[in-house]
Amino acid sequence: MRTPRLAAIAFAAVAALSLAACSGGNSAAPSGSAGTSGGSLVVDSGFTIETTDPGHTYDPTGNMVAKALYETLVDFQGSDVSTPIPGLASWTQNDAATEFTFTLEDGRTFSDGNPITADDVVFTMDRVKGMTEAKPNFLLTGITVSKVDDKTVTFASEVPLLQLPAILANPALGIVNSKVVQENGGSTTGTDSAQSYLDGASAGSGPFVLESLDLTSQIVLTKNPKYNGDEAAAYDRVVIRNVSESATQQINLRGGDTMVALDLNGDQVSELGTDFTVDSVPSGQTIFLLVNQDPAVGGITSNVDFASAVRSALDYDALLELAGSGAAQATGVIPPGFLGALETGTKQDLAASKAALAKSGYDGSTVKLQYPNDYPVGGVEFTPLAERVQSQLQAAGINVELAPAPFATELDSYVGGKEAFSMWFWGPDYADSANFLPFAPGLKVGLRAGWTADKNSTIAGLATAAQTSTDETERKANFTAFAKAMQESGPFVPMIVPGSNIATAKSVTGAVYNSVWTMDLAELKPAS
């Protein structure tokens, strides 16, 4: 993942929830409303949210809520994040991919009825740029936003940036009502104080508006009566409840107490039966092994042949068994569904592994495998996965000692490049393959593996070529070449792309996974 961010994950007992419009127990749905247009929708999810201010939002639950409240200039259709489509605006670009011109759709309004203008777009972007402590701030690095007229805005980049449309689809860059936000502390100069206001009210144009926010228990959204786009809400009210245990989410779904469960693992999904609908697909995250290339940190692991031995030793199909429904083998550092992803992954080859191991000079010493033991990714627990990796490497002649630690403890040593051999994960900040270039030598994740640019100038050059491409066909070829070279000789061993399992009652349709905002609440509709 991008440097894993510790979200404000709140835990609350389901039995303690007392929701408005209750029909009994802790259900938020009025009796008989589950399959009726205009009723209430109840969603269970383990909260990863710190705020409903889009400019500060950068976690899964926060992105899902921001997507419902604030529209972006660019959008994606359903689960397809390969092709950006117009959202609030259509766009053109110059041949150098350094200037993009966006034209707002006519007649669109905010939830207070005021029109959306270029001033709102410029303010939104400059506000995020001005909030240097905000997590989404880096999305606009090197980008200048200028008003052309009331309906037109230009984005200028210092370097070719074909991924800009994908970046602008991130819910953190949802367009805010500049007048309302400025009246409540909003600023572009770094002195912004509008977050407290935006945690109690929304100032966007999305299909929903914020009714209430409680980071420990629930978020309530209601239909935006002034919405005039093409994704109108089918439900009058959506209650998103903080249910941290996936087993409890399964119980609630089976009992009719909730209609959507976002965090079921593969085993729980398989137990649901035919009375429920499940969207099980690979997520955008990748679980991988890091093999440090700095001799001072890794010792024997810094030999490139040792990394090759590890890569060939693993039985990827057996590892995948631990991931369950929706998961897939990671074919490289670019996961399936993204531009340049390889069609097939590495296959186990114990003879090749032992040959590489002998070439590396490995003397049979024990290597510690470090990993976070309290942070499952897509339902995949790291300890069982580490145990299986340990067993498979032992069969190839590599002695491994497991060294688990809490996420918060392990994070610093991983980010600081102090781990010789470790298991981590990476997910996209936005829906574009440029997200995976940091694995290259000399870049952020590469340096965490002690992999400086001079250690593989060829792959460093491939990453630069992919980053600076100005033609889509050339860009795809460059990303594919980068992914292939990384898989052949990089210090990372991609293993699993965990699945995303969104389970719904039969009374609800339209629930599909999106790697940026998890699920679009506006796409959910009563089956009848």
Residue 326 phi, psi (nearest 5): 85, -20
Place of tokens 């600023």: 187
Tell me what the mean pLDDT of segment 472-495 comes to: 96
Lowest mean per-residue pLDDT among 18-27, 67-76, 311-320:
18-27
Q: How many CB atoms lie within 10 A of CB 247?
A: 12
Cα-atom radius of gyration of the chain, to the nearest Å? 24
Residue 202 near residue 210, CB atoms below 8 Å: yes
Sequential DSSP letters for 119-135: HHHHHHHHHHHH-TTSG
Virtual CA dihedral for 335, 336, 337, 341, nearest 10 degrees?
A: 80
Q: How far apart are CA 51 and CA 74, in angstroms?
A: 22
Helix (H, G, I), strand (E, B) or coil at 129: helix
**pLDDT value, residue 378:** 82
Locate 500 and state its tokens. Answer: 């995303």
User: What are the chain's domains?
Assistant: 14-280+501-526 (3.40.190.10), 286-497 (3.10.105.10)
pTM of the prediction? 0.85
**pLDDT value, residue 112:** 97
313-to-97, 292, 347, 390 alpha-carbon distances in Å = 42, 17, 9, 10
DSSP H/E element including 508: strand 508-509
Q: Is the pLDDT of residue 14 over 70?
A: no
- Find residue 288's DSSP bridge partners: 424, 494
Exposure of 159 by Cβ count < 10 A (0-12 exposed, 13-18 middle, 19+ buried)? exposed
Reported residue count of the chain is: 528
Q: Is the pLDDT of residue 483 over 90?
A: yes
Q: How far apart are CA 297 and CA 303, in angstroms?
A: 12
Share the mean pLDDT of the chain: 91
Which residues does 54 contact at the CB level (< 8 Å), separation at least 6?
A: 66, 69, 70, 171, 172, 173, 174, 176, 198, 204
**pLDDT value, residue 27:** 40
Locate 338 and state its tokens. Answer: 């993204």
Locate 473 and state its tokens. Answer: 């066909």
Helix (H, G, I), strand (E, B) or coil at 191: coil
**Tell me: the pLDDT tens digits for 448-472?**
999 999 999 999 999 999 999 999 8
**Tell me: the pLDDT tens digits for 315-361?**
999 999 998 888 999 999 999 889 999 999 999 999 999 999 999 99
Q: Is the pLDDT of residue 240 over 70?
A: yes
Residue 48's closest CA among 383, 324, 382, 407?
Answer: 407
Q: Is the pLDDT of residue 391 over 70?
A: yes
Determine what percent of the chain falls in helix, strand and coil, rounding each to the nearest 5. Answer: 30, 20, 45
Q: How many CB atoms lie within 10 A of CB 421?
A: 26
Lowest mean per-residue pLDDT among 29-43, 119-133, 201-215, 480-494:
29-43
Locate 375 and state its tokens. Answer: 């942070």
**Tell me: the pLDDT tens digits for 255-284?**
999 999 998 888 899 899 889 999 998 988
Place of tokens 């009246």: 183
Residue 233's closest CA among 198, 258, 208?
Answer: 208
**Tell me: the pLDDT tens digits for 108-127?**
999 999 999 999 999 999 99
72-to-86, 204, 225, 327, 461 alpha-carbon distances in Å = 9, 10, 19, 29, 33
**Tell me: the pLDDT tens digits for 189-214?**
999 999 999 999 999 999 999 999 99
Residue 439's closest CA among 370, 491, 481, 382?
Answer: 491
How confident is residue 37, by pLDDT bands cut at 50, 70 and 90? low
Q: How far apart are CA 176 and CA 69, in angstroms?
A: 10
How confident is residue 106, by pLDDT bands cut at 50, 70 and 90? very high
**Tell me: the pLDDT tens digits for 154-203?**
999 999 999 999 999 999 999 999 999 999 999 999 999 999 999 999 99
203-to-52, 75, 195, 228, 456 alpha-carbon distances in Å = 10, 19, 11, 15, 48
Question: What does DSSP say about strands 400-405 and 218-223: parallel, antiparallel, or unpaired?
Answer: unpaired
Q: Which amino acid does the sequence have at 361?
A: G
DSSP 115: B
How confident is residue 374, by pLDDT bands cut at 50, 70 and 90? confident
Q: How many CB atoms lie within 10 A of CB 358?
A: 12
Q: How far apart are CA 401 and CA 226, in angstroms?
A: 60
Residue 173 near residue 125, CB atoms below 8 Å: yes
Residue 339's closest CA among 172, 213, 200, 162?
Answer: 162
Q: Which long-range contacts (CB under 8 A, 24 or more apart) does 159-162 make?
A: 159/98, 159/467, 159/468, 160/96, 160/97, 160/98, 160/467, 160/468, 160/469, 160/470, 161/97, 161/98, 162/97, 162/469, 162/470, 162/472, 162/475
Q: Is the pLDDT of residue 285 over 60?
A: yes
Q: How far apart are CA 86 and CA 473, in angstroms?
A: 21
